[in-house]
Structure 1
C-alpha cells in the first residue's frame, strides 16, 4: 500500500466508523437516576442510542428521561427494584415491548453501607448489600439472557456490562459486605462470558474506584477528616474520579469497538491498582 492510499484508507475509516458509535443501539441501564448511571444514560442518548433508565428513585429518573425527551433524545424511565425478581422481569418485559429487543444491558444499580469493621456489621447490612449488589445483578443478567439468546444465536450480538468496583478486585477494609458482593459480580461476569460466548453474547465489567457520586459523598459524610483524606489519596491522582470519566468508558464498551472484549474488568481507578 502506498502512502497516499494508506492516508485514503485512514480517512475512509474515520468517516465510516465514528468513534464509540452507539447510534440506534437499544440500551437498558439500571441505577440510571443518579451518579454513573445517569451520566452514562445521558452520554448514550446524546450519541443516538435508544435508552431505558430504570431505578427505584422514580421522581429523579422521570426527570432525567423528561429532560432528554425535551431535547429530542430517545429515553424513557421505568421503575425497578433489582432485588425483586418479579420487578426485574417486569422491567425487561417493558423493554422488549418498547424496543423489540436489547443490544446492551448495563447493570449499574447498587447501594453502599456505613464503613465499619466486619465484626460490627449487622446481618441486615450484609444481606441488603448481597440482595441489591449481587443478587440484583444475577436477576438482571438472567433476564437479559432471556431477551438476547434468540438474537445471539441468530447472529446479532448482545452485550451485558456489569458495574462492579475495584472493591471487587482487591481487599476493601471497612466495607466487607460491599466488597463481597462486588467480588461476586466479577465471578458472575467471568463465568457468563465463557458460557455464552458461543451464543454471541458478551459479558464485561467496569470497575471504578472512588467516583464523585451521591453514594460516595454519602460514604465520605460518615467518615472523619482523616478517613475522607485517605479515600481521596487512595488514587495516585489524589482526587475522586468524575462520572464523565466513567460514562465515556461505558459508551465505548457499548459500541462495536469493544467487540473482542469479553470477561474483562475495565478498571478506572486513577492508578490505584497499578
Structure 2
C-alpha cells in the first residue's frame, strides 16, 4: 500500500544497517519523509543517498542514542527540518561482545551495564523525546525493537541482553497506557533469528553456526529477513493498527507459539 504515510515524518534509529535500514526503506517506500540516524555516519549517509536516488525523501542525522543531549537534538532537528514527527522506530540495541560466552556468575558488570545502556537506556531516551513532541502535536505511532530473549530463556547476549529486552517490553506497555488518551500508540516487535551485524561480531563462520543452531527452534526453519521485521514495524505504525497499542509482536517463525 504505497503512500500510506504520505505527509508524515518518520524517524528511525540504528538506520545504517540491519532492521533499522530495512525499516527506513519501508517507511520511505510508503511515502514518509524519513530521517535516518546512527553513529555510523558514512554508512548512514549512503543509506539516505540511496533512498533519495530512488526518488524518496530521506536525510541522515548522526546521533548517539545513549546520550540524552544528542537524542533531544535529533528530535528537535527532525521537527525543525521537516515540520513534525509522526512516526518513530527505535531500533538501537546491542550486546557486549564478550557477554555470550561466560556463565552468568562469570559475566562482568561492565558487560551487563553496557548492554543495559545500549538496549534499555537508548529506548527510554528516544521514547522520552519523541513523546514530548507528539503530545503537543496531534499524537503519533512508535515502534520499539525488543527480542525473543526478552520473552524466553536464550543465552545469546548473556544476562544483560535478555534482562534489558524484557524491560523494553515493559517500558513499551507503560508508555502505551500512559499516552493512549493523547493519541500516541507505542508497540514493539520481538524478532526471531534475524541475521544482523550482531550475529557477525565473531566472524561469518561463527555466525552461520549460531544461526543454524537457533533456526532449529523455529517451526519455520529459516532465518528471518530484516525486511520481514520492518514489515511488522510498518504495520504497527500504520492506521491499519489504529487500535493496537502496548502490543509486543513476535516475528519469530512460530518460536513462541510452542510455549
Report SS of the residue matched to 2:255.
coil
- Asked if residue 232 in structure 1 is aligned to residue 215 in structure 2, the reply is yes
Structure 1 residues 219, 182: CA separation in 2 closer, same or farther (over 3 Å shift)?
farther
Residues 118 and 223 of structure 1, relative CA distance in 2, 3 Å threshold: farther
Distance 1:72 1:239 in 2: 33
Tell me, in whole angstroms, the C-alpha distance in 2 between the residues paired with 1:37 and 1:226: 24
Aligned equivalent of 1:127, options 113, 120, 124: 113
Q: Is the 8 A contact 1:28 1:54 kept in 2?
A: yes
Deviation of 1:157 after TM superposition, in Å, equals 3.1
Q: State the partner residue of 1:167.
A: 149
Aligned CA distance change for structure 1 residues 119 and 221 (closer, same or farther; 3 Å) = farther
Paired with 2:215 and 2:29, the residues of 1 have a C-alpha distance of 31
Contact 2:3–2:29 (8 Å) recurs in 1: no
Aligned residues: 253
Pick from 155, 164, 171 the counterpart of residue 181 of structure 1.
164
- Does the CA-based 8 Å contact 1:20-1:256 persist in structure 2? no
Q: Unmatched 5+ residue regions in structure 1?
A: 1-17
Match of 1:92 in 2: 75
User: 1:229 and 1:24, CA in 2 relative to 1: closer, same or farther beyond 3 A?
Assistant: same
What corresponds to 2:128 in structure 1? Answer: 142
8 A Cα contact 1:20 1:255, kept in partner: no
- Looking at structure 2, the residues matched to 171 and 97 of structure 1 have their Cα atoms a distance apart, in angstroms, of 43
When normalised by structure 2's length, the TM-score is 0.91
Matches within 5 A, 1:49-128: 49-113=32-96, 114=98, 115-116=100-101, 117-128=103-114
1:216: Cα distance to partner? 2.3
**CA apart distance, 1:201:** 0.7
Would the alpha carbon gap of residues 215 and 171 (structure 1) be closer, same or farther in structure 2, given more than 3 Å must change? same
- Asked whether the equivalents of residues 20 and 251 of structure 1 are also in contact (C-alpha less than 8 Å), the reply is no
Which has the higher Rg, Structure 1 or Structure 2? 1
Alpha-carbon distance in structure 1 between the residues aligned to 2:243 and 2:214? 34
Q: Look up the SS of the partner of 1:273 in the other structure.
A: helix
1:82 is paired with a residue whose SS is coil
- CA gap of 1:200–1:228, structure 2 versus 1, over 3 A, is closer
Which 10-residue stretch deviates more, 253-262 or 113-122? 113-122
1:8 corresponding residue in structure 2: none
User: C-alpha root-mean-square deviation of aligned residues, in Å?
Assistant: 1.9
Q: Which residue of 2 aligns with 1:44?
A: 27
Q: 2:186 maps to which residue?
A: 203
Decide which of 127, 139, 159 is 1:157's aligned counterpart. Answer: 139
- Structure 2 runs not aligned, ≥5 long: none
| TM-score, normalization by structure 1 | 0.87
Q: What is the alpha-carbon distance in structure 2 between the residues aligned to residue 224 and residue 61 of structure 1?
A: 24
Structure 2 Cα separation of the partners of residues 219 and 240 of structure 1 = 18
